[in-house]
C-alpha cells in the first residue's frame, strides 16, 4: 500500500469521526439550543439530530423538568412596622428554551431578586396577624406576579410557598403568652360547661325523683280510697243482707225492738256515752214514758 492509500484511509477515518461527532441525540425532557456562526439557528427537541461541522455549535442544553429554587430568608416589614424574616421556595419550569437562553442573564438570580421585592410589597400592605394567617393569599399573589414577570424569560412559575415566617423574639414571646391564655380560657370554658351539664343532670334527676314520689303518693291515695269505698260497699251489702234475712224469717216488731236495744247496749260498751233510744224500744222494754235517755257511767 502506497503513501496515497494510507492518506486516503486517514482522511476517511477523520471524516467518519467528524460525521459521528455531528450526530447528536437529545434525551427526553431536554432541549438543545443550536447556533450557526454565533446566531440562533434552531431548538432541538427529543430525538436524533445532525449539525453541520464547524459552522454549527451546541450553545446550551436546557432541562424542561420542573425545578425548585430555595431562596434565603428575606427581611420584610409589615404594615404595623414589625420586622420579620421570611424565606420562600419557588417551583418553576422552562417552557420556552429560546427565551430562557437569550431573555435574561442568570435568570434564577433575577427571579430571587424579583421574589424578594414582590414579597416586601405584599407584606407591606398586611399587618402582623394578617401575615401569619394569610399564607395562601400571599402564595397566590406572589405566584401570579412572578409568573407574569418571568414570561419574557420563557419561565413559568408553578407554585410559590412561604416556607417559614420568623417574627422577632419579643413578638414570639407575646404570641406564646396569648396562646397560653387562649388554652387556659378554653379549659375554663370546658370546666364550666361540664359543671353546668352536671348540675342540669342532677336537677333533672331530682325532678324525675319528685315526679315518681308524687305519682307513688297519688297511687297510694287512689288505692286507699278504693279500699275505703270497697269497705263501705261491703258494709252496705252486709246490712242489706241482714235486713233481707230479718225479712225472710218474718221477725215481728217486738223482736226487732229488743234486738235494737241490745245493740245500743253493746254500743255503750261501759263508757260514758249518751244514747238516744227510740220511743218504740222504750215502750217495749217497760221503761217509763218520761224517760228519753239512758246514761251509762
Q: What confidence tens digit (pLDDT) does each residue in 148-169 have?
A: 999 999 999 999 999 888 888 8
Distance separating alpha carbons of residues 85 and 72, to the nearest angstrom: 10
Beta bridge partners of 67: 92
- Per the model's pLDDT, the better-predicted residue between 288 and 125 turns out to be 125
What is the pLDDT confidence band of residue 31, given thresholds at 50, 70 and 90? very high
Query: Is a pLDDT exceeding 60 seen at residue 251?
Result: no
Q: Specify the CATH number for 67-167; select among 3.40.50.700, 3.40.50.1000, 3.30.479.30, 3.40.50.150.
A: 3.30.479.30
Q: Which three cell numbers stand for residue 89?
A: 421556595
Please say if the pLDDT value at position 297 is more than 50. no
pTM of the predicted protein model: 0.55
Q: CA distances (Å), 19 to each of 8, 58, 219, in order? A: 16, 15, 116
Residue 197 binned pLDDT confidence (cut-offs 50, 70, 90): confident
Supply the pLDDT for residue 54: 81
Top mean pLDDT of 25-34, 169-178, 182-191 is at 25-34
- The span from the CA of 211 to the CA of 218, in Å, is 10
> Burial level of 98, CB count in 10 A (0-12/13-18/19+)?
middle
In angstroms, the Cα distances linking 220 to 7, 9, 259, 277 are: 136, 132, 40, 41
Joined grid coordinates for residue 182: 387562649
Amino acid at each position: 500500500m502506497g503513501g496515497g492509500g494510507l492518506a486516503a484511509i486517514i482522511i476517511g477515518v477523520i471524516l467518519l469521526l467528524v460525521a459521528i461527532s455531528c450526530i447528536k441525540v437529545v434525551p427526553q425532557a431536554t432541549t438543545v439550543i443550536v447556533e450557526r456562526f454565533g446566531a440562533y439557528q434552531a431548538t432541538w427537541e427529543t430525538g436524533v439530530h445532525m449539525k453541520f461541522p464547524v459552522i454549527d455549535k451546541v450553545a446550551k442544553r436546557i432541562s424542561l423538568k420542573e425545578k425548585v429554587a430555595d431562596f434565603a430568608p428575606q427581611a420584610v416589614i409589615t404594615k404595623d412596622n414589625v420586622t420579620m424574616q421570611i424565606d420562600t421556595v419557588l417551583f418553576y419550569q422552562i417552557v420556552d428554551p429560546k427565551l430562557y437562553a437569550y431573555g435574561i442573564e442568570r435568570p434564577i438570580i433575577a427571579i430571587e431578586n424579583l421574589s424578594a421585592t414582590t414579597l416586601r410589597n405584599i407584606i407591606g400592605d398586611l399587618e402582623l396577624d394578617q401575615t401569619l394567617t394569610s399564607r395562601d393569599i400571599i402564595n397566590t399573589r406572589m405566584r401570579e406576579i412572578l409568573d407574569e414577570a418571568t414570561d419574557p424569560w420563557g419561565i413559568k412559575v408553578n407554585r410559590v410557598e412561604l416556607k417559614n415566617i420568623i417574627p422577632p423574639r419579643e413578638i414570639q414571646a407575646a404570641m406564646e403568652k396569648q396562646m397560653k391564655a387562649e388554652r387556659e380560657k378554653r379549659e375554663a370554658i370546658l370546666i364550666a360547661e361540664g359543671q353546668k351539664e352536671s348540675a342540669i343532670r342532677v336537677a333533672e334527676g331530682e325532678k324525675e325523683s319528685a315526679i315518681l314520689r308524687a305519682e307513688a303518693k297519688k297511687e297510694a291515695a287512689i288505692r286507699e280510697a278504693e279500699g275505703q269505698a270497697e269497705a263501705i260497699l261491703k258494709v252496705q251489702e252486709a246490712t242489706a243482707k241482714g235486713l233481707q234475712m230479718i225479712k225472710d224469717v218474718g221477725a215481728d216488731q217486738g223482736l226487732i225492738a229488743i234486738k235494737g236495744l241490745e245493740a245500743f247496749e253493746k254500743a255503750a260498751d261501759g263508757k260514758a256515752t249518751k244514747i238516744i233510744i227510740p220511743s218504740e224500744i222504750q215502750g217495749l222494754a217497760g221503761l217509763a214514758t218520761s224517760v228519753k235517755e239512758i246514761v251509762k257511767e
